[in-house]
Chain A
Amino acid sequence: MAEFLQYLVTGVTIGSIYALAALGFAIVYNASHVINFAQGEFIMIGGMATATLTAAGVPLPLAILAGIAGAMLVGVLIAKFAVERARNASVVTLIIITIGASIFLRGLAEVVWGKEFHRLDSFSGNAPLMLGGAVVTTQSLWVLGVTAALILATGLFFNRTMAGKAMLATSHNRLAAQLVGVNVRHVVLAAFALSAALGAMGGAVVAPITYSYTEMGIMLGLKGFAAAALGGLGNGVGAVAGGLIVGIAESLSAGYISSAYKDAVAFVIIVAVLVFMPGGLFGRAGTERV
């Protein structure tokens, strides 16, 4: 039982990061129908910037903010110069553009930060807590708390503010959004900035657990995509649930089967979803009446 609880804690922790990445995929997909495979690089930028800046003596909160700001800037640049320019291209072309952007960003990061692993201290000490026989690091609690806060804030933004509702409206009906005066170009830029901020914040809190390195975004991004597909692409609640499910499934299989298969779990889930439930677990309910 203690063992199971331990795997669960580990799974939920890493699943939180997948959930943030999946939420980023959903937000960008809703605004622009682009599947942004550079999402993982936002996580990497957040992790790397925080680790290297704190190592250089910058206070932690400032380093995190700088990482988020940097990732948002990169997100807006991708939207403006890669995605917007190819507005009329096919979905596949747009996906390939984002893959290209992610490879470019990884290369650039290697030039700036080097190939080695960067360590980041836990935010509040290394003394672990015991929870029913499972060891919970304080950093895990940071990950869970920050993720919960971000998800809540994102939910409030989309359901309570006019700007958030305008973004939702654009995803439901682009023409109508234009006709009520929403600048749909700004919506796309805002979506990339928002998803970059979520990813970078995730990268910063997870860095003390995973270390940060320039390739950390590949797996985190792909698993975030698996989570987004599992939850139903474009569904925010589904993205969060998908992230937690992928994280827990991965952690349990690493514990009970073999950690060698850990990374395979997410991709088995993707294949299973695409074959059996193409709409995802929370595929959009059809409320439209014609």
Chain B
Amino acid sequence: MLLEITGLDAHYGRIRALSSVDVAVGEGELVAIVGANGAGKTTLLRTLSGVHPASAGTIRFDGGDITRLSAHARVAAGIVQVPEGRQLFGPLSVEDNLRLGAFRRRHRPEEDLGRVYAMFPALGQRRRQPAGTLSGGQQQMVAMGRALMANPRLLLLDEPSMGLAPLLVAEIFKAVQALKEQGTTILLVEQNATAALAIADRAYVLETGSVTLRGTGAALLADEGVRQAYLGL
């Protein structure tokens, strides 16, 4: 397994946001985490990226214990997150946002820039524009492009479809699937459970900080409880 999380706890003050979460992601897999608002999905990704401390448990990445590693060292190790709400550097240009994605890499990122522009042509036309002035869908593309510039070994996606029009949601999910087909390992967190389960190899259901169900994407999509609770079917 590329990523192995065992018994992970995380707190906000005295409130327990995650309680002994076990999640594993294998090389090349697309694993989804679904669950309601406030279930702890974002906290899980924040803890994986090292911007929120784990209070118990271990995170192993590529065989090494990274539970206490600083956020920037995890990026260097290849764990790269596309955060919820995009979190772009608004006043900086699209291209600067993308180049900053490659901050931890010590080579000229021209080739990777070209690949991102090929994947999202809309960004190429707006490379000099301040990222904050783009539409929501384009901002999501910048956020994903910025993460890809880091050449991730594990890509963490937090609610990539949030706040986007249905057409754009389809486009973003298509991009996620394309990345998976190119061999990128992805951990996808989504409230849009139907879309996430449809493209996931495996998935976990998170409920008030604990994993309550796990299985293949297809199995969970067919599960009666999941259908009622998260898919509104």
Which residues from chain A sit less than 8 Å from chain B, CB to CB? 162, 165-166, 168-169, 172-173, 175-183, 284, 287-289
- The answer to whether A172 and B90 have CB atoms under 8 Å apart is yes
- The answer to whether B150 and A180 have CB atoms under 8 Å apart is yes
Q: Convert B56-88 into 0s and 1s, putting 1 for each residue whose CB lies closer than 8 angstroms to a CB of A.
A: 000000000000001110011000110100011
Assuming the contacts A180-B146, A182-B103, A289-B134, asked whether A175 and B51 have C-beta atoms less than 8 A apart, the reply is: yes
| Additional A-B contact list (10), CB under 8 Å, known A166-B100, A172-B91 | A162-B100, A165-B99, A165-B100, A178-B49, A178-B71, A179-B81, A181-B103, A181-B104, A183-B70, A289-B135
Q: Would you give the shortest CB distance from B50 to chain A, in whole angstroms?
A: 8
Cβ–Cβ < 8 Å partners of A288 in chain B? 90-91, 132
- The answer to whether B72 and A182 have CB atoms under 8 Å apart is yes
- The answer to whether A178 and B130 have CB atoms under 8 Å apart is no
Assuming the contacts A175-B51, A179-B87, A180-B100, asked whether A168 and B72 have C-beta atoms less than 8 A apart, the reply is: no
**Sampled A-B contacts (13; CB under 8 Å):** A162-B99, A172-B89, A172-B92, A173-B89, A175-B51, A176-B88, A178-B71, A179-B51, A179-B75, A182-B100, A183-B70, A287-B133, A289-B134
- The answer to whether A180 and B103 have CB atoms under 8 Å apart is yes
Cβ–Cβ < 8 Å partners of B87 in chain A? 173, 175-176, 179
Q: Would you give the shortest CB distance from A107 to chain B, in whole angstroms?
A: 36
Which residues from chain B sit less than 8 Å from chain A, CB to CB? 49-51, 70-72, 75-76, 80-81, 83, 87-92, 96, 99-101, 103-104, 130, 132-135, 139, 146, 150
Cβ–Cβ < 8 Å partners of A284 in chain B? 91
Main secondary structure of the interface of A (DSSP, over half): helix
Assuming the contacts A176-B89, A287-B133, A289-B134, asked whether A181 and B83 have C-beta atoms less than 8 A apart, the reply is: no
**Central interface residue in B50, B70, B90, B135, by most chain A CB within 10 Å:** B90
Assuming the contacts A176-B89, A181-B75, asked whether A289 and B104 have C-beta atoms less than 8 A apart, the reply is: no
Q: Would you give the shortest CB distance from B39 to chain A, in whole angstroms?
A: 21
Task: Give A181 to B71 CA distance when docked, in angstroms.
Answer: 7
Cβ–Cβ < 8 Å partners of A177 in chain B? 89, 100
Cβ–Cβ < 8 Å partners of A162 in chain B? 99-100, 103
Cβ–Cβ < 8 Å partners of A179 in chain B? 49, 51, 71, 75, 80-81, 83, 87
Assuming the contacts A162-B103, A169-B92, A172-B91, asked whether A181 and B132 have C-beta atoms less than 8 A apart, the reply is: no
Q: Would you give the shortest CB distance from A166 to chain B, in whole angstroms?
A: 6
Cβ–Cβ < 8 Å partners of B130 in chain A? 287
Which 3 A-B pairs rank lowest in CB-CB distance, beginning with the nearest?
Answer: A181-B75, A181-B104, A176-B87
Least CB separation from A168: chain B residue: B92
Task: Give A257 to B124 CA distance when docked, in angstroms.
Answer: 58
- The answer to whether A173 and B103 have CB atoms under 8 Å apart is no
Task: Give A288 to B101 CA distance when docked, in angstroms.
Answer: 20
**Central interface residue in A176, A179, A287, A289, by most chain B CB within 10 Å:** A179
Q: Would you give the shortest CB distance from B146 to chain A, in whole angstroms?
A: 7
Q: Would you give the shortest CB distance from B162 to chain A, in whole angstroms?
A: 12
Cβ–Cβ < 8 Å partners of A287 in chain B? 90-91, 130, 132-133
Q: Would you give the shortest CB distance from A286 to chain B, in whole angstroms?
A: 9
Q: Would you give the shortest CB distance from A232 to chain B, in whole angstroms?
A: 13
Q: Would you give the shortest CB distance from A234 to chain B, in whole angstroms?
A: 11
- The answer to whether A178 and B90 have CB atoms under 8 Å apart is no
Cβ–Cβ < 8 Å partners of B83 in chain A? 175-176, 179
Cβ–Cβ < 8 Å partners of B76 in chain A? 181
Cβ–Cβ < 8 Å partners of A169 in chain B? 89, 92, 96, 100
Cβ–Cβ < 8 Å partners of A180 in chain B? 75, 100-101, 103-104, 146, 150
Cβ–Cβ < 8 Å partners of B101 in chain A? 180
